[in-house]
Amino acid sequence: MNGDVIPCLGFLGFFLMLFVFIAFNRYLAYRETIALAEKGLVRPERLRGDGKGALRWGILSTALGLALCAGWVIAYLSVGRDEDGFALFALIGLFPTFFGLALILIYVLTREDRQPERKSEAAAPAELPKAE
């Protein structure tokens, strides 16, 4: 019984610390907004990125997941043949793999094709003002 309590408390403690960290960051952003408002200023809007962050994190997460899956397959083939353990650890590798693939898919589906504007060499000459 006591052996099961410590891992549960560690698991809950981790998520409690994560929640406190997120809440504290939100509070600091709120205080910053209030301080700017007292001075008559407005928080500048964040510029919307080009979506490359989702692509980078997707590639990183997919590579990590595939590396974990490959590592567990190698360990399974070389060390032991415990099928229950293999299935559990294969899932640990598949979660980041599919999360990364989802991020890459989000990037592909939401990107905007922006063509750089090129000035044509055969542009019409500018009209000169008429002399009266």
- pLDDT at residue 128, as a whole number: 62
Note the pLDDT of residue 73: 78
The pLDDT of 110-125, averaged and rounded, is 60
Residue 124 located in a structural domain: no
Q: Are residues 74 and 107 in the same domain?
A: yes
pLDDT category of residue 130 using cuts at 50, 70 and 90: low
Residue 117 resides in a domain: no
For residue 82, what pLDDT is reported?
Answer: 61
Domain assignment of residue 7, yes or no? yes
32 plus 63 within the same structural domain: no
Number of separate domains in the chain: 2
Q: Are residues 51 and 101 in the same domain?
A: yes
Residue 132 pLDDT: 58
Whole-number pLDDT of residue 125: 57
pLDDT at residue 17 is higher than 90? yes
Q: Which of 48, 61, 54, 55 lies closest to 100 in space, CA to CA?
A: 61
Q: Is 85 left (phi over 0), alpha (psi -120 to 50) or beta?
A: alpha
Question: Does residue 51 belong to any structural domain of this protein?
Answer: yes
Tell me, yes or no, whether 127 lies in a domain: no
Provide the whole-model pTM: 0.52
User: Which two structure tokens, joined as six digits, stand for 95?
Assistant: 């979660």
- Inside any domain, residue 98: yes
pLDDT of residue 123: 53
Residue 18 has pLDDT above 80, yes or no: yes
Q: How far is CA 87 from CA 22, 73, 96, 110, in A?
A: 33, 10, 15, 34
24 and 3 in a single domain? The answer is yes
d(CA 128, CA 122): 18
The reply to whether 9 falls in a domain is: yes
Residue span of the structural domain in which 55 resides: 47-111
Q: Is the pLDDT confidence value at 39 over 80?
A: yes
How many residues make up the chain in this entry?
132
In the predicted model, what is the mean pLDDT of residues 24-36? 94
Instruction: Decide: residue 126, CB within 10 A, 0-12 exposed, 13-18 middle, 19+ buried.
Output: exposed
Residue 96 lies in a domain: yes
pLDDT tens per residue across span 51-110: 788 889 999 999 999 998 888 777 777 776 666 666 677 778 888 999 999 999 999 988
- For residues 103 and 51, membership in a common domain is answered with yes
